[in-house]
Structure 1
Amino acid sequence: MSDAIPGRGQYSDLARRQRLDWLRARTDARLATLENTGLNPQHLVGNVENFVGSVEVPVGLAGPLLFAGEAAHGSIVAPLATTEGALVASASRGARALTMSGGVTTTVLSQRMTRAPAFEFADIAGARQFTAWLGKHRDRLDEQVRLVSRHTRLVEVDPYQIGRHLHVRFSFETADAAGQNMTTAATWQICRWLTDVLADENDLRPRSMLLEGNLSGDKKVTAGSLVAGRGSRVTAECRLSHEAVTTVLRTTPSAMVKSHAVTLLGAQQAGMTGYGVNAANIVAALFLATGQDVACVHESSVSFLSIEMDGDELVATILLPNLVVGTVGGGTALPHQRELLDMLGCSGTGGVRRLAEIIAGFALALDMSTVAAVVSGQFAQAHQRLGRGRRVEWLREGDLNTALLQPLLAQGTGDPRLHVTEVRRMPPLHSDGIASELGALGERRKLIGLHPLRVTWTDGDGSGTTVDLVAKVKPRGEEIVAGIARLMSLCGADAARAWSHWGGDTEFTDAHRRELSVYRRPERVLQDLLPRCRGLLDDDEREAHVILMERFRHDGEPWARDRVDDALRAVAAVHGHWLGRDKELLHEGWLHHVPEPEYLARSGELWEALVRHTAADQPGLLGAGRRDILLGIIGQAEEWARETRALPRTLVHNDFSPRNIAVQDGRFIVYDWELATIGLPQRDVVELLAFTLGTDSTAADVGRFLTVHARAVAAASPEAATLVTGSDWRRGYQLALREFLMTRLALYAAGHTQREFGFLPGLMRTAFHLWDLEQ
């Protein structure tokens, strides 16, 4: 095989694929992700050589941020291309605080691009004489620049002599281009002209010349660039109200000013160039999104941040002295980057000033959010990762293969001679579920979620079978708890601290073990509800917890009264089977960690912190009236939790909503049992009604549903019938409603402030309507 990369200088898809095949043969790497690209090779001349494929970077939307700048006006949303979790959320939080306080004022102070050729002369006198000559012919230099570009203007010529060497710093204005290529071409034209015009001037002619003598500071942080300017010199300022700091940033203005003073001393001790907090994140993310020269992130990210008090308000200013940006040329012509520049309103004349102001405004917003996070301890919590004392061979994308699935299917089908011949990945499902998403926040380094597969095998008799299955790869319970902790870190110090104290005792702990235990249970009443299980993998060493189940689809029918009745009857069989056997279930241990009712009273500070945060952050969702209802329930938890403990309890699904119930060929399939626990059977009734009823339902409607459920529970066994008859079923429902409002609804609402749940507004309306009916 030749060592030469094939297709040199060729911009065609055929040449691209030849290079890709050559690279595969050379490295034995599959490189499947490079197979397809949305870029046209013929349009990449001048952008890249030896084109082989493209790399996708996720783009998230930060903001909106209100601007009152010279070029940037109104409410602006920024596309941030990044792989760093919490960046977009933190920038959005800062943007919200700034917007709540009246927005950010921005302006571009100057725009320069530099090139600095170096000349060598016979002696010091020659260099000195050339410097004087150059000053006398300044107008001739302008003529040479105009020969190269009508958009480029030479604004400064600064000579720096060092012995017989002379460095000349040419500064240009380059309109809407970043200008590196423009200034290089213009400087080269000047140098060629100097060579020609001084060809016969032995006393003036340089002995040698370099187009760049490293004085311009190109792609480097230099003191000269900070003072003289390179790129756009742009500044942004905001005035943060006391209310915005306390309710959105979750700290106080005085604490932020004190933190700023302390960290400024640290920056001075470290010899930091400039002083900033987090501008590089915004600069890099917007550079990637809009096609800027990423190598310029280093110099462009230098910033000067100032924070001071003015009365009870906070005044913050940021200066980016060397922001090298352009809206024409280079990567700005690529299709994705051009669309995002268009979206920002930066693609026309004057767009570079608007882009510079947008970057400065969002850099200031992120700095304010980050300072607040450091002050209140949220920063560490938002970036925490579970510690492990050993290296773990996690499941990866390619591990869902024949070798992994064969023993699972052989065990699940009871056929030891079963042989898996093919495993094909199918298109992903629309969602991995909230638990998987939270688990991914807690641990992003391994495979989790729902993975549709088409599996072919031959059984012991040689018969072939092809089945569509789903591999549910579960996050560990502690990863879900850590994922929620990351959300809580953005909800303020009180919520983060309370979750750190009480989150480990919630039903999310051991969620992965609990669901696998449910699928192992032999009881027919439970097996009839579960998806058909084809195999289980429970490997603690690899932290691999997998349920291989049938692929089923929702029938899409609306949740009318009859369907609710049927769902309640279906789950009632499980409730009736274990009703009153809560001590037995606890003793068996297969549900693992089960919070007791007393936990609700002890953990009141957690639920109160979530409620108060949501009420402050989303008053339209949780107004004062609803807030006070929840706080009242929390305040009385000790009393009603004691009453809950005295009523008959059972195994409950604890997440019994249409999101986890499918109806296929008349069969109810109930899945996602990771939150299953011991509780009042009415707990599942509450959740289903909250998701399916409307605000036009009546107390009589609720009573009818409770009767349907109670009769179905009683029908499970004589013992269940006795317990149902001997208890106040409506009172059990009222207590279960209190628990649902205090815990699950409060957690949904707090999470909604950081991750939008489309179902939540309707759920809130119905849940509080159910509360009103019971009053």
Structure 2
Amino acid sequence: MSTSTSARRGILMDLFDDRQQVRSFHDRRMPKLYFEYKSQYYEGYMSHYWYDGFRIMTQQHDLHLQPGDELSRIGLYEYDTDKGGHQFIVTDVSLSVDECTLIIAVKLQGAESIDFLHQHIYAVILGNSPLHRFSQSEPTPFPSFVGRKHYTKDAVAARQQWLEQFTSNTLKHVNQSLFHEQPSILAGNIENYIGSIQVPLGITAPLWVRGTYANGHIPIPIATTEGALISSISRGAKACNAAGGIEVHVLKQTMVRAPVFFCEDMSSAIRLAQWIDEHKVSIKAEAERVSSISKLITLHTYPFADFVHVQFGYETGDAAGQNMTTSCTYVACEWIASKVKHLAELKYVRYIIEGNQAGDKKVAYRSFIGGRGIQVNASIHIPEAILKQTLRVSVDQYMKSWYAAEVGAMQTGMIGHNVNFANIIAGIFSATGQDMGSIHEASCGIFKARREGDGISFHVQLPSLVIGTVGGGTSLPTQRECLEMMGCYGRGKVYKLAEIIASACLALDLSTSSAIISNEFVKAHERLGRKSEGTGIRRSDIKPRFFQALLGEAYGKVTSFELTPLNTDSSVITNMLKANNSSFQGLHRYLLHLQPHLQQEVNLRHTSSTYLPVILKVKSNDREVMDLGIGIAKLSGDDRLSGLFESQMHIFGFEGSHVREITFYQQAPMTLLQYCPHVYGVTCDEDKEAYAILMEDLSSCSHLGTIESLTVWDEEHIDYVLADAAKMHALFMNKADELPAVLQLDRLDEYSCGDATELLLALTEYNYERYPTLISSHLYHLLRQFIVQLPSHKQRMKQYHQTITHNDFNPRNLGLRSTAGTKQLVVYDWELVCYQNPQHDCVEFLSYTVGVNASIQQWDTYIEQYRLYLEQASGILLDREEFEQITLLNALELAAVRYNLYLLANNLLHLSYMETIYQNLSRYILDKVKENPRLIELQPAN
């Protein structure tokens, strides 16, 4: 089957979630058709259809059909569709209840016949089916991209082309967008980007705001398609300015998150609530640990039945804070769960991160009363003279009408009472990059009028103004400009923005209510729009035939198997994926029971019995791994960081990692595979997303998985690894062309590294703030300097000797096999294998094993020993000074890229070894730079 046919069939099947599903036409909407049987034509109607067949109703009783008969032609009268040459097999013939109609069930056999049924019958009849778009051409699958490729010009063009073909429409205006030149800046704001909806942007007449942070006449940008809105705001601004300006004051900021904890009974839930109340100080410390901005200011418990709602209230600086506070609350909940699960009297069961009590993006009484986001008040007194002159309404007229309006609000159960705060909120939110999902909760406020003195005093309260001046969409080009128009972009500006919004709400409601009362109001129309079966390898798939397919016949018949214990705690990514989706991914140890073939008593490697110990590695695809990285970045609470991750995480080398290791084991030469575990078989099914490796059990190897006990690495065993690593690296030193084509792995070039500069700088800054005792000021600036110059450094590194490297070369992934009285290196987990400087593996391994008190002299001794081993194995003279320069560059790259990522994960996972290995590496970097600053100076490329 061709790729295009396969893709088309996948689209065709979208019509049928279940192949057995039967759909019926209405009596007066059945398509008329004709069919040929034994060279005669008959008429009828299609009454029902399903995936591979349909039902015909005809009143031609002279037709004598039997199950198994074949109709040689079918056609649709209305659509001029006529086709022969397909197998239309009759499966059932019956009479209707009134015996007036013959009912014929027809089934098509063969893929091409079913294809025809969908393409030329169903798609034509249904008309509105997306399949109809492809009736004249081959359909193509929706273009999919991962990582940085998702936000490229090519990806945008591919999606536009696909959409034009799919809908038969030409994109004339949507694709006219300023983001086309640099779509990567949209990472974290939108997916599947194709263009821009250009909402008109207007500016109000300057409004006199008299607040603590906003003080002066301020023009306000409003993005809207509602005519007369900006004129109405400007009219209200005119009246307010004439009255001396709007007094405004921010009351507080509270971003709420509300998880739920479940217990076994009500008494336990009440005791858990008491426990939480008693440990508020510790919970606050945990919640604030992942963010230097969020501060937990309130914590309330609400037990009910056998569960407890817990409301966390935060101050979030200048960010709206939804993501940030979710991260903080998640960490606090994890801490609570870790403590209470051991307390038998609490009978704790589990928790969920949100119990619908926070009011996030919903109109809720709790948010209206207690506040969510920023709470702000605004007031002004308008003398009657201004009311009459500018708004053409008297005090008596206004107050009497407003009394009726308030009664109407109460009778409808309105939460809050205002005229149209939502217009201001939506217009400013659109213009300044706020979260549009929070418009209605932010608009739920109070507008009150009270007769006072010679006029009316108007008062506004916005209790739930969810806004930010950093993060989210605020840094996009036009959104940033709109914030800058008001002097509200960046840190320290969110209260100013709140004061402006509240003042604008007052001005608009004053104008609109006056227009309604004076019968000058003409309502504008607001036009708002918004635009298979399980995959992977599951536990239930693990059966004798599964192992048989991987082993083949060489080892005999797999009769049964048993699962045996295996410690995989050091596998960080696998364990996080498991925790995230309860998947079967990771390493599993089995003992296979084999029945040898005749004349094959033993053909087993490592055992002389009919038992074969194996390790099954079930792999996740690269998208899951990359999504995990993005998820970790989102839990940092830094919106920009998570956005940069999505567009620039190619720097970490995860793309294609799900098949890279499998390809390596299949294609690498034996000279290289001698340093790997024996692989019995692999599975690589892209359609099912099933990836697995069946390999030998390495339990007999020493130093295996010693990540939690690094002290076992003494000089002797470090030397074993360095010697064999040098032999392994020497095999393809400067011989990339000699590798099989599938193993000619492209290492990121200097341009790709340059594309990721923003991410690496943001990551370095984040970790510097989180780990001030681990990352010194000197190291921080050194890393920043290196990252800024990374493209040039990468070019210099590429000009040096390169070879196949493991690229994750540490005690998590290697051990020592006893062979003939000596030790031999064995390395597994090759998903990050690439072609680069051999020093990369060396310096990574040493950062784990040299010990916390190792001096720079010890580092130099090990690196020099490795250089000599590599020189001897490769036959290439390696200048010591140049070798050390490239080693340092690889160490800096490791710190700036891989270890920066590890530190981000450590913020949540508390990896016991992370700080030790980072200190080891950073000490080497700082000592080498101090010893000779010129080591990392840029040199002209040859």
TM-score range, shorter chain: 0.5 to 0.7
Q: Deviations over 1:51-104 (max 9, x none)?
A: xxxxx999xxxxxxxx999954543459xxxxxxxxxxxx96578669963642
Show the counterpart of 1:410. 552
Q: For 1:496, give the aligned amino acid.
A: S
The alignment status of 1:622 with 2:622, answered yes or no, reads no
1:449 pairs, out of 579, 586, 591, with 586
The alignment status of 1:774 with 2:928, answered yes or no, reads yes
Show the counterpart of 2:161. none
List runs of 5+ in structure 2 lacking aligned partners.
1-261, 265-272, 327-332, 377-463, 475-531, 602-608, 704-710, 930-942
Show the counterpart of 1:88. none
Show the counterpart of 1:332. none
Q: Deviations over 1:584-620 (max 9, x none)?
A: 54x7133556423442233111111111122223333
The alignment status of 1:765 with 2:830, answered yes or no, reads no
Do the aligned partners of residues 57 and 731 (structure 1) sit closer, same or farther apart at CA in structure 2, a change above 3 Å counting? farther
- The worse-fitting range, judged by mean Cα deviation, of 630-639 and 521-530 is 521-530
1:599 pairs, out of 729, 736, 752, with 752
Other structure's SS at 1:625 match: helix
The alignment status of 1:304 with 2:450, answered yes or no, reads no
Other structure's SS at 1:503 match: helix
Q: Deviations over 1:286-333 (max 9, x none)?
A: 999647999xx899998712135489xxxxxxxxxxxxxxxxxxxxxx
Q: For 2:595, give the aligned amino acid.
A: T
Q: For 1:304, give the aligned amino acid.
A: R
Contact 2:813 2:827 in 1 (8 A): yes
Show the counterpart of 2:472. 376
2:635 pairs, out of 490, 510, 520, with 490
Show the counterpart of 1:400. 542
Q: For 2:898, give the aligned amino acid.
A: R
2:615 pairs, out of 470, 474, 480, with 470
Q: For 1:764, give the aligned amino acid.
A: Y
Other structure's SS at 1:578 match: coil
Question: Distance in 1 between the 2:745 and 2:843 partners?
Answer: 24
Q: Deviations over 1:309-362 (max 9, x none)?
A: 489xxxxxxxxxxxxxxxxxxxxxxxxxxxxxxxxxxxxxxxxxxxxxxxxxxx
Question: Distance in 1 between the 2:727 and 2:567 partners?
Answer: 30
Question: Distance in 2 between the 1:530 and 1:681 partners?
Answer: 17
Contact 2:648 2:755 in 1 (8 A): no
Question: Distance in 2 between the 1:697 and 1:620 partners?
Answer: 19
Q: Deviations over 1:394-424 (max 9, x none)?
A: 211121221111121126xx45xx2111111
Question: Distance in 2 between the 1:493 and 1:284 partners?
Answer: 27
The structure whose RCO (Cα within 8 Å, separation 6+) is larger is 1
Show the counterpart of 2:561. 423
Report deviation, 1:748.
0.8
Contact 1:392 1:543 in 2 (8 A): no
Show the counterpart of 1:24. none
Question: Distance in 1 between the 2:350 and 2:841 partners?
Answer: 53
Show the counterpart of 2:683. 537
Q: For 2:787, give the aligned amino acid.
A: I
Question: Distance in 2 between the 1:373 and 1:398 partners?
Answer: 50
Contact 1:654 1:677 in 2 (8 A): yes
Question: Distance in 2 between the 1:372 and 1:289 partners?
Answer: 40
**Structure-to-structure mapping, 1:21-36, within 5 angstroms:** none
Question: Distance in 1 between the 2:828 and 2:724 partners?
Answer: 13
Show the counterpart of 1:434. 572
Question: Distance in 1 between the 2:549 and 2:469 partners?
Answer: 48
Question: Distance in 1 between the 2:351 and 2:905 partners?
Answer: 37
The alignment status of 1:755 with 2:905, answered yes or no, reads no
Q: Deviations over 1:477-535 (max 9, x none)?
A: 22211111111112212211111111245411111211112212453332221112222
**Structure-to-structure mapping, 1:496-645, within 5 angstroms:** 496-504=642-650, 506-553=652-699, 555-556=702-703, 558-585=712-739, 588-590=741-743, 594-645=747-798
Show the counterpart of 1:75. 281
Q: For 2:748, give the aligned amino acid.
A: P
Other structure's SS at 1:757 match: coil
Do the aligned partners of residues 632 and 247 (structure 1) sit closer, same or farther apart at CA in structure 2, a change above 3 Å counting? farther
1:688 pairs, out of 831, 845, 867, with 845
Other structure's SS at 1:752 match: helix
Contact 2:320 2:467 in 1 (8 A): no
- Rg bigger for which structure? 2
Q: Deviations over 1:674-726 (max 9, x none)?
A: 1111110000111011111135333332332223222322333xxx3235359
| Identical aligned residues as a percent | 18
Show the counterpart of 1:190. none
Contact 1:698 1:773 in 2 (8 A): no
Contact 2:615 2:697 in 1 (8 A): yes
RMSD (Å) for aligned C-alpha atoms: 4.7
Other structure's SS at 2:807 match: coil
Report deviation, 1:246.
8.0
Show the counterpart of 2:130. none
Do the aligned partners of residues 291 and 737 (structure 1) sit closer, same or farther apart at CA in structure 2, a change above 3 Å counting? closer
Do the aligned partners of residues 758 and 428 (structure 1) sit closer, same or farther apart at CA in structure 2, a change above 3 Å counting? same
- The worse-fitting range, judged by mean Cα deviation, of 534-543 and 736-745 is 534-543
Instruction: Please identify which structure carries the higher helix content.
Output: 1
Show the counterpart of 2:295. 101
Question: Distance in 2 between the 1:439 and 1:71 partners?
Answer: 33
The alignment status of 1:240 with 2:311, answered yes or no, reads no
Other structure's SS at 1:468 match: strand
Other structure's SS at 2:875 match: helix
Report deviation, 1:753.
1.7
Show the counterpart of 2:831. 674
Report deviation, 1:747.
1.0
Report deviation, 1:178.
6.2
The alignment status of 1:742 with 2:866, answered yes or no, reads no
Contact 1:93 1:248 in 2 (8 A): no
Other structure's SS at 1:728 match: helix
Question: Distance in 2 between the 1:250 and 1:529 partners?
Answer: 47
Report deviation, 1:733.
0.8
Contact 2:319 2:470 in 1 (8 A): no
Do the aligned partners of residues 420 and 664 (structure 1) sit closer, same or farther apart at CA in structure 2, a change above 3 Å counting? same
Report deviation, 1:392.
4.7
What is the aligned length? 476
Report deviation, 1:568.
0.9
Q: Deviations over 1:266-286 (max 9, x none)?
A: xxxxxxxxxxxxxx9999999
Do the aligned partners of residues 600 and 588 (structure 1) sit closer, same or farther apart at CA in structure 2, a change above 3 Å counting? same
Contact 2:471 2:640 in 1 (8 A): no
Contact 2:672 2:731 in 1 (8 A): no
Q: Deviations over 1:98-135 (max 9, x none)?
A: 99636426588xxxxxxxxxxxxxxxxxxxxxxxxxxx
Question: Distance in 2 between the 1:293 and 1:701 partners?
Answer: 49
Do the aligned partners of residues 659 and 299 (structure 1) sit closer, same or farther apart at CA in structure 2, a change above 3 Å counting? closer
Question: Distance in 2 between the 1:763 and 1:292 partners?
Answer: 34
Other structure's SS at 1:304 match: helix
Do the aligned partners of residues 651 and 300 (structure 1) sit closer, same or farther apart at CA in structure 2, a change above 3 Å counting? closer
Q: For 2:844, give the aligned amino acid.
A: E
Show the counterpart of 2:626. 481
Q: For 2:372, give the aligned amino acid.
A: I
Q: For 1:539, give the aligned amino acid.
A: D
Contact 2:774 2:915 in 1 (8 A): yes
**Structure-to-structure mapping, 1:143-292, within 5 angstroms:** 238=313, 240=315, 242=317, 249=324, 290=348
Q: Deviations over 1:203-223 (max 9, x none)?
A: xxxxxxxxxxxxxxxxxxxxx
Show the counterpart of 1:321. none
Report deviation, 1:625.
3.4
Do the aligned partners of residues 404 and 290 (structure 1) sit closer, same or farther apart at CA in structure 2, a change above 3 Å counting? closer
